[in-house]
Structure formats: structure tokens, C-alpha cells
Amino acid sequence: MNVHLAPGRRTAPDEFDTATRFAVSAAVTDSAVTPMAEFHRWYAGCHDRMGGVGVVPIPFAAMSGWHFEPDTGNLVHDTGRFFTIEGLRVRTDRPWVSDWTQPIIVQPEIGILGILVKEFDGVLHCLMQAKMEPGNVNRVQISPTVQATRSNYTRVHNGTSIPYLDYFRRHPGARVLVDVLQSEQAAWFLHKRNRNVVVEVFDDVPVGADFHWLTLGQIRRLLRMPHVVNMDARTVLSCLPTALAGPVTDCSGDGFAEDVRRSTSGEAEPVHTMGEVLSWLTDIRTTRELIQQRIALEHTAEGGWLRTADQISHQDGKFFRVIAVDVHSAGREVASWTQPLIAPNGPGLLAFLTRRINGFLHVLVQAKVDAGAMNVAEMAPTVHCYPGNYRDVPQGHRPPYLDVVLSAHPGRIRYDTMHSEEGGRFFHAMNRYVVIEVDEDFPVETPPGYCWMTLNQLTGLLVHGNYLNVELRSLVACIQAA
Amino acid sequence: MNVHLAPGRRTAPDEFDTATRFAVSAAVTDSAVTPMAEFHRWYAGCHDRMGGVGVVPIPFAAMSGWHFEPDTGNLVHDTGRFFTIEGLRVRTDRPWVSDWTQPIIVQPEIGILGILVKEFDGVLHCLMQAKMEPGNVNRVQISPTVQATRSNYTRVHNGTSIPYLDYFRRHPGARVLVDVLQSEQAAWFLHKRNRNVVVEVFDDVPVGADFHWLTLGQIRRLLRMPHVVNMDARTVLSCLPTALAGPVTDCSGDGFAEDVRRSTSGEAEPVHTMGEVLSWLTDIRTTRELIQQRIALEHTAEGGWLRTADQISHQDGKFFRVIAVDVHSAGREVASWTQPLIAPNGPGLLAFLTRRINGFLHVLVQAKVDAGAMNVAEMAPTVHCYPGNYRDVPQGHRPPYLDVVLSAHPGRIRYDTMHSEEGGRFFHAMNRYVVIEVDEDFPVETPPGYCWMTLNQLTGLLVHGNYLNVELRSLVACIQAA
């Protein structure tokens, strides 16, 4: 008799099988479970119901439950939980700016970003939530089934219980399809990670007013619209297994979508072996310097960060500001609250250059060292920057490929949509997500920190944490919607 | 025309091919390049030449180049480089001791542990070094070709240049077979990692007096002897690709060695899928608490750490001591020096329980949270502890399986050898490495933090960092020598 025992949770028997089932779900771009027309009526209704919430900048002193610590100037919650805003001193070997200080969000707890999936008529559907976050430009966006910090789910702030959370913890009938710790914005967070998890259920699931079942094909349609699918949903979606075992033969998409599917499939022949890619990254992680030292928030003044009654900002007017807001809402765990948020100065640019090499689409990835990184460097989009920060930087120190992207011919742009970053921590933080296909004259030789990879290689790394940064994971979700 | 371009370094075209070549090398237990008799003569000669070095405990005040910082009591080098000994405050959710302070080594730089390999008569040989380290009980052990901290190889201490280093950096003809950042002793180091790298060369390599070429089979014979193959060599050896593509049919080993080979091969059928294993670890990394706060070394006094003129030790006489030594040597990069070392109080125990499940050997792995861990928990041996630390601990709080190991019938012990830990940082630190095969009556059900895995699954994770802790990697190298 064979022994079967699980260390905790059942998982899918075969990742290729799971990938095939998600490929089927991706091909279903409308569904009788939630027809798109109904989705849009419901989503509009959620805006009516939750979107009217007031989000008003207030002086720091008007926050309730938050204060600046007398000794350090760190911005902390009275309970000592949630997160703190402290200072970070960074020393790197970057040529242009090699050391600096900055405010940074410290949140050592690991939260859950979970999507519940269930088959209807043989097709996997994802239970998506319409969620209000104070930092969203449009207040309400589509989020995972569960999006909870540890403080949330251990009830530190005494809110109502979180729907569906138990499916992600100890539900005997559930099956885990994705379960991995992934990093978040390392320019603003110190060593922050969340658990990205997808669980399949087989029993009946009651559907709350803020929730709807959508196929992967429907969600990808929404990914072509600005500010609909939030960052938390995008990162979890990027971790879905997509590497089909064999060639993809039943697709009828246009040329680029078909190239994306082939590059994601097991048939794609990469120009570099995985061994080469991992050795390239190991070399950068070893040789690039990143010394992080936590300091008192008030000591960031040395680096030009100035605190007034209602913001902490840099004297050059660049980077970001720390602000406080007052939120009045009815649809969240607690009815109203105040909190600090990070407000970037202007939108960012996250761009993929893609190119056919040896017959298969490759994407150009950079290894990027950010202030709060846990593992020195992670893979990032070809261009990942806030262009405004470079307005007075000498030409030789502008990010490689930035000007290629900014001057791309419209006929070469395969995807171009604005999306929001996490609205629970960032105020109106948004990035232009762009995918550009360069032609086969474009040089394949790259500067040392760059590497061409197939999408199959890139998504294959997503069962492990800290390889793809959150911006790259978002872009991976986007390119599959192109 | 197909485009070929490397992001930096060439790697092996196929990891199965590399695994097969190392399997061939493992089957060669003696070699005309360095016959074992010659090895032993040479190794004895190295002891004569280098082993007479004096290592004498001295008062901290007698160290040259090291001092206690006035503000913090941290033990630092005058240059600010190498490493520092600071304090760490740890908060966990362990039931028995949930928070404590301790001294910790802080060494943010990433060093290189590199083995050069080359084919002779169709068989891969490893260039191994006889290296003196002050903390080794027997002074001289067999180490990788290159074992260098960043301070070493950037010449901070003004020593002689490091032989063979360039093969691991920018050698055009070399081929990378292993290249991964792996963690080191997280009980004593904060977030420490080294680059484990294996490079194959095709041109002639001059062999220095402290170096000899050995097959993997020869090295495995040495692994059955105590205190010969050092920790740095063991961790690099553990990262060699071993997962043969097909079944292993040409082996003539005894029953257990054959079981180890089958468990390492691609034919092994694990009781848990990789998805289950990774989800189990993700769950522990998310739900176990590990809050690390760097503090001044002098503040560890709160936790019972007392500094005298010549040691920092715990008032209970447990754990470890920080000491200083004076070293007089002729065979190292500099002729003599003084330095601090960590001296554990008594030997540790690192044990695998192994068991056939469904026809294939499985090893029992625990997810262990250590003070200085970078990623909350890493996989560790079934038993990984200093038994002396538990002498007065209530029965229910002793490590699971400790008593199973200590009372194992000798007929069940498949491997049992003492090895040293890194002699450049630790003084007489040694562990008993034990492999026990339990019979099929032994319960497969485990406490929550434990998981049965095949060796194929375990070694498959070694292309990534921070999954297997250094003690587990050492034990993986040992079980392959059983």
C-alpha cells in the first residue's frame, strides 16, 4: 500500500495540468457566470457604493492613532503594529548617486494576497473583489479575493472578520495552486514581502456583494483598461502557472499575442540557458554593493528630507512625499480612519523591450538594485524608473533604453496602459506599463546588467521568491493580456 | 543565422549532462592524477608545513587592529572592514524561549567559495586546496580552490594575491557549472551568504604546492574521515548537479548507497509534490515570527552575556563564547595576525532520519528558524542542535527526534562522522553528522515543521539560495558519501 501524506496542504498533482486549465480559462473572454456586461454594471455600482469615500490630506498632527516618536522622529502607530516610516541610509556602487538617505516603510509582517478559484462548466473562474483603497485615483479597483496584512487578519485594528480568509489557511477541501512569498516596491519598502497564493475550491462558495467570479480571459480584458486591476491582483495573476508542456496549437490570436504564447510555452528556445541567467544574476548580486542601515527618520534631514506640518519631502522636489490622509468610508473593515501614505512625484515608466531572437519572442530584463531590496538585485523591466527624477541628470547617467522607449514608433507599441500601485500605502502612485516590440535589426548586445529571456524562463522562476520584482511581475501579467 | 550571446559567462549546455559527468567522477574512487597514497603523503606534508602554526587565546586588549567601539561595545576592525561582532535582539513565537539577545557576526559582504574542475582522461577532477584555518582542531583541512572574502580579494589586508581567483571572475575559456548564493550558520551570522561556484577549465592549469586534483569519488572517501573536508568544500560539493535524467542502472554499491543514488535520480517518486513542499515552507515562513533588531553588543548584557578581559560568554555557561586568538603562520596570505573567533560550547548534532517510502528513500527535513536567518526559515537536518543547550530543558521542549537519534541502534547508522565548521570564524566548532535509516514501521506522520523529501527534490532546490541551510547542505554532501 502506498503511503500518502501531506505536510499540510494538498496541491495540484501536476503543474502542466494546472497551466492547461488556466490556458483554457484565458481563452474564455466572456462567461455565463459573470457576463462582461453584468461585471461592468456591478463595478459601476461598487463605485457608487464605495467610491464616494472622502480621502482628504490632513496635517500629521490631526492623525488619530499615529505619532512621531520623540527620540527618532519615526512615524509609528500607537499600538506598535501595522507599519512604521523610518529612515534608511543606503550605500551602493552606482556611478551617479552612490549613497543617500530616504524615508522608508518598515513592515516586517507578511500579508496574504489570495485568489480563490473554482471550476464552473469546466472553466476556472477567479473570485475577484471590488476594493476601495484610499490611495487609488479612482478609489475602487479589482483586487484578489483576500488582501490582508497580518495585522488585518489577526484583528489588530478590531475590524470585521475578513471574508474567505479561512480558505487560505486551514480549509480541508481546498487545493493550493500557487503559494510563494514575493517582494514589493523596494524603492519605498524595506524587505517587504507578501504571500501570493491561489487556492482551488470544490464546494459551494457564497458570493458576497463585493465579489464576482471572472475567467482569466475576462481579467485579461480588464488589464487592457487603466486603473481597474490593482497591483495585488496583478502580482498574484503573474504567478499562475502558464508553462504549457507542449506547443500551443489551438490559438487564434494575432501575431504578437501568438508570439507571447509561444514564448511562454515549453517549446520556446531561449538564447541563454537557465544556468547562464542565474549565474548572471548571482554575479550581479555578489559584485554590486548594497549596504542598508536603518536610521532615525529625522536623520534623513541630512539627505535633504524636510518635515513640515503636513508632509515630508525632498528639497529638490523629486522622488516622493510622505503625507497623511483622513478616510471616511463605509465599505472597509472599519468605517473611517487616518493613515500616512507615500505620494510619488509623478507617474513612473515600466517598459519591456521585446524582440524575436532565433524565432522566439524574448523580453529584455534588467537586474535592478533598489534601496530596500532583500536580496541586493531582482529582475526588473527593461526600463523601470520615474522619468521626472532624471530631468536634470547628464545624458550618460540616464537609464539605458529610456529614450528608446520614449521615442518608440506607435506601430511598435503592443501594450500601453496606466495602472495603479498599492492604494493602501501609496497615494496616486501610477505607472505607464508599456510593451514595445523592436525589430530584428535592434542590437541584441546589451550593457552588463541586462539579459534577454523567454517568457517561459521568466514565469518559471515565479515559483520562487525574490527573482522578479513586483513591477516586473505586473508587466508579466500585462504582456499576457496584450 | 542563429544569434548566440552570453550575459557574461558560458555555462554547461545541459545540467543532466553535467550530472552524468559528476556521477562518472564519483564512481572513480582513485585516480592516476593523484593516487590516494600520494594524496595522503601530500596532506601529511601540508600538516608538517602549515600545521605547526601557533593559535593562542589572548585577551581582547592584546589584539592588533581590532577594538571595542566606545559607544556600542561592538568589536570591530580598525579599517571598518572584515566583519564586526555586534548584538542582536530576536523575537520569535517559539514556545520555550521566545525572545533573547546574543552576540552575532555581521559580515554583509559576499565571499567566493570556488572549486575549479577539469577533465583528465575523461573524468572530472576538482582542484582542492590544503588550507590552514586558526579555528580548525587539526589546523589544516581540504578546502575549495578559492575561499576568499571580499576583503581578501580586494586586498584590504594587503596580503599576497589569491591563486586561481581570476578563473572565477573573468576567465574567457571557463565554463560555469554551479553559481549560487548560499547562506551560512544563521545561529552566529546575520544574513550571511557566500557565492558557491564551480567552474570548468579546458586549458592547462599550473598546480601550486598547496593544491591537488581529486575526483568526486576520492573526495567522498575523504568525507568518511573526520575533520578532513572543510565546511566550505562541503557546501560547494552539495551544490553539484546530481539529478541524473534517467534511472541509475550501472551502480554496484551496497543497499543504502544504491538507495541514495535512486533517491537522487530523476526516477525517484516523492511522497509530496514540489508544490506541496514549497507551500509547506511558504506557510512556515509566513506564520512563524522572526523579528530581528540589531543592538549594541554591550546591550546583550541584558540577556546574560558578560564580557571579561578575554571572553564574552553567557552566564548559564551555554551557547558559545567570543574569544580572541593570536595566530602565527607562514602559509596564509599574511604571516601572522590576531582575530576574534566564536567558540561553541561543545559539539553539535546534525542528523538525518531516512526511510523508504513507496519504494524510494526519503529524508526527513525540518524548517528551522535561526536568529540570523535572512528568510525566516530554511530547511535543516531532522535534528540540528547543540544537545548541551537542552540538558535542563523540560522533555516536551527538547527537539523532536533528538532522542530517536541518540538512542539509534548501531545497525541502523549509515554514516557517522565528525566534521568541522568554518575555521576562519569559529574555534573548534564541530558537529557529529549522522545518517540513520529507520525501518518501515517508523511513523511517517510528522509534527508540522517537518517534511519527507527525496534527495532529488532536495538537491534540485540547490540551484537557488536560502532553501537548504549550510548544515543541511553539508549533510547532503555526507549522505552521498555514505
**Largest alpha-carbon pair distance within chain A?**
71
* Chain A residues within 8 A of B275 when measuring between CB atoms: 11-12, 15, 176-177, 179, 463
A37 to chain B, closest Cα gap in Å:
37
Query: A286, B181: Cβ pair inside 8 Å?
Result: yes
Of B15, B276, B448, the CB nearest to A11: B276
pLDDT band at A274 (very low <50, low <70, confident <90, very high): very high
Of A9, A276, A357, the CB nearest to B9: A276
How far is the C-alpha of A190 from the C-alpha of A206, rounded, in Å?
A: 37
How far is the C-alpha of B432 from the C-alpha of B121, rounded, in Å?
A: 36
pLDDT number for residue B159: 47
Distances B175 to A272, B171, B219 between C-alpha atoms, Å: 14, 9, 22
The candidate with the shortest Cα–Cα distance to B195, out of A65, A283, A33, is A283
Of B11, B112, B446, the CB nearest to A275: B11
B1, B3, B240: which to substitute to probe chain A, counting the most A Cβ within 10 Å? B3
| Chain position carrying cell 498632527 | A61
Q: Would the pLDDT of A17 be above 90?
A: no
How far is the C-alpha of B429 from the C-alpha of B474, rounded, in Å?
A: 14
Ranges of beta strands (E only) in B21-79 are: 54-58, 66-68, 75-77
pLDDT band at A330 (very low <50, low <70, confident <90, very high): low
Q: List, for residues B168-226, the tens digit of each pLDDT value.
A: 987 778 899 999 999 999 999 999 999 999 999 999 999 999 999 999 999 999 999 99
Instruction: Give the chain A residue whose CA is nearest to the CA of B276.
Output: A11
3-class DSSP state of B479: helix
B277, B283, B382, B457: which to substitute to probe chain A, counting the most A Cβ within 10 Å? B283
pLDDT number for residue A335: 72
Query: B110, A450: Cβ pair inside 8 Å?
Result: no
pLDDT number for residue B155: 59
Question: What is the pLDDT of chain A when averaged over all its residues?
Answer: 91
User: With contact defined as beta carbons under 8 Å apart, do B146 and B112 qualify?
Assistant: yes
Instruction: Give the chain A residue whose CA is nearest to the CA of B18.
Output: A275
How far is the C-alpha of A309 from the C-alpha of A293, rounded, in Å?
A: 27
pLDDT number for residue A103: 98
pLDDT over 90 for what percent of chain B?
79
Residues 6+ apart with CB under 8 A from B385: B348, B349, B399, B402
The candidate with the shortest Cα–Cα distance to A223, out of A240, A205, A235, A206, is A235
How far is the C-alpha of A129 from the C-alpha of A131, rounded, in Å?
A: 6
Query: A10, B276: Cβ pair inside 8 Å?
Result: yes
pLDDT number for residue B1: 39
Q: What are the cell numbers at B169?
A: 571572475
pLDDT number for residue B154: 67
**Euclidean distance between the first and the last CA atom of chain A, given in angstroms as a whole number:** 49
The candidate with the shortest Cα–Cα distance to A193, out of A285, A127, A118, A107, is A107
pLDDT number for residue A152: 73
A98-113 average pLDDT score: 94
Which of left, alpha, beta for B191 (phi over 0: left; psi -120 to 50: alpha)?
Answer: left
The candidate with the shortest Cα–Cα distance to A229, out of A22, A427, A415, A422, is A422
Question: What is the pLDDT of chain B when averaged over all its residues?
Answer: 91
A83, A200, A286, A440: which to substitute to probe chain B, counting the most B Cβ within 10 Å? A286
Q: List, for residues B41-56, the tens digit of each pLDDT value.
A: 999 999 998 878 889 9
Query: A108, B291: Cβ pair inside 8 Å?
Result: yes
3-state secondary structure A414-476: EEEEEEECCCCCECCCEEEEEEEECCCCCCCCCCCCEEEECHHHHHHHHHCCCCECHHHHHHH
User: With contact defined as beta carbons under 8 Å apart, do B77 and B158 qualify?
Assistant: no
Query: B7, A280: Cβ pair inside 8 Å?
Result: yes
User: With contact defined as beta carbons under 8 Å apart, do B365 and B352 qualify?
Assistant: no
pLDDT band at A154 (very low <50, low <70, confident <90, very high): low
Tell how far CA A308 is from the center of its chain.
31
Query: A285, B181: Cβ pair inside 8 Å?
Result: yes
Of B9, B282, B465, the CB nearest to A181: B282
Higher pLDDT, A58 or A6: A58
How far is the C-alpha of B86 from the C-alpha of B74, rounded, in Å?
A: 5
B1, B2, B5: which to substitute to probe chain A, counting the most A Cβ within 10 Å? B5
pLDDT number for residue B34: 98
pLDDT number for residue B200: 96
Distances B165 to B126, B150, B265, B390 between C-alpha atoms, Å: 15, 11, 33, 43
Q: Would the pLDDT of B436 be above 50?
A: yes
Helix or strand run (H / E) with residue A344: strand A336-344
Instruction: Give the chain A residue whose CA is nearest to the CA of B111.
Output: A286
B179 to chain A, closest Cα gap in Å:
5
* Chain A residues within 8 A of B9 when measuring between CB atoms: 276, 279-280, 283
**Euclidean distance between the first and the last CA atom of chain B, given in angstroms as a whole number:** 49
Q: What are the cell numbers at A342?
A: 507615500
User: With contact defined as beta carbons under 8 Å apart, do B223 and B466 qualify?
Assistant: no
At position B160, the amino acid (one-letter code) is T
Residues 6+ apart with CB under 8 A from B121: B32, B33
pLDDT number for residue A360: 96
User: With contact defined as beta carbons under 8 Å apart, do B430 and B227 qualify?
Assistant: yes
| Chain position carrying cell 567570543 | B322
Distances B4 to A225, A270, A358, B1, B7 between C-alpha atoms, Å: 38, 10, 9, 9, 10
- Report angle CA A103, A106, A110 to the nearest 5 degrees: 150
* Chain B residues within 8 A of A463 when measuring between CB atoms: 274-275, 278
Query: B110, A286: Cβ pair inside 8 Å?
Result: yes
At position A219, the amino acid (one-letter code) is I
Tell how far CA B281 is from the center of its chain.
21
Q: What are phi and psi of A101, to 5 degrees?
A: -120, 155
Q: List, for residues A203-251, the tens digit of each pLDDT value.
A: 999 999 999 999 999 999 999 999 999 999 999 999 999 876 555 444 4
CB contact residues (below 8 A), chain A span 165-184, against chain B: 176-177, 179-181
Query: B3, A357: Cβ pair inside 8 Å?
Result: yes
How far is the C-alpha of A379 from the C-alpha of B54, rounded, in Å?
A: 48
pLDDT number for residue B330: 60
Q: What are phi and psi of B36, to 5 degrees?
A: -55, -40
pLDDT number for residue B9: 57
CB contact residues (below 8 A), chain A span 423-452, against chain B: 444-446, 448, 450-452
Higher pLDDT, B264 or B172: B264
Q: Would the pLDDT of A253 be above 80?
A: no
pLDDT number for residue A161: 82
Residues 6+ apart with CB under 8 A from A199: A114, A115, A116, A117, A167, A168, A171, A174, A175, A176, A177
B306 to chain A, closest Cα gap in Å:
27
* Chain B residues within 8 A of A181 when measuring between CB atoms: 282, 285-286
User: With contact defined as beta carbons under 8 Å apart, do B125 and B214 qualify?
Assistant: yes
Which of A327-336, A367-376, A383-392 is least confident? A327-336
Of B2, B176, B286, the CB nearest to A181: B286
Tell me how many residue pairs between chain A and chain B have CB atoms under 8 A apart. Answer: 134
pLDDT number for residue B204: 94
| Chain position carrying cell 554551479 | B178
Whether A77 and chain B come into contact, CB under 8 Å, resolves to no
User: With contact defined as beta carbons under 8 Å apart, do A377 and A409 qualify?
Assistant: no
* Rg, C-alpha atoms of chain A: 22
Q: Would the pLDDT of A438 be above 60?
A: yes
B288-313 average pLDDT score: 96
B251 to chain A, closest Cα gap in Å:
26
Higher pLDDT, A371 or A244: A371
pLDDT number for residue A14: 67
The candidate with the shortest Cα–Cα distance to B177, out of B20, B5, B13, B7, is B13
How far is the C-alpha of A224 from the C-alpha of A480, rounded, in Å?
A: 10
Q: List, for residues A332-355, the tens digit of each pLDDT value.
A: 545 789 999 999 999 999 999 999
pLDDT band at A35 (very low <50, low <70, confident <90, very high): very high
pLDDT band at B331 (very low <50, low <70, confident <90, very high): low
Query: B13, A273: Cβ pair inside 8 Å?
Result: yes
Do the bridges between strand A175-183 and strand A193-200 make them parallel or antiparallel, or are there none, so unpaired? antiparallel
C-alpha torsion angle, residues A473, A476, A477, A479 (rounded to 10): 160
* Chain A residues within 8 A of B374 when measuring between CB atoms: 374-375
Distances B381 to A424, B41, B226, B471 between C-alpha atoms, Å: 40, 34, 19, 7
pLDDT number for residue B367: 98
How far is the C-alpha of B35 from the C-alpha of B38, rounded, in Å?
A: 5
C-alpha torsion angle, residues A4, A9, A13, A19 (rounded to 10): 180
Instruction: Give the chain A residue whose CA is nearest to the CA of B452.
Output: A7
How far is the C-alpha of A107 from the C-alpha of A84, rounded, in Å?
A: 7
Q: What share of residues in chain A are helix, strand, coil (percent, to 5)?
A: 25, 35, 40
How far is the C-alpha of B344 from the C-alpha of B386, rounded, in Å?
A: 9
The candidate with the shortest Cα–Cα distance to B69, out of B77, B293, B312, is B77
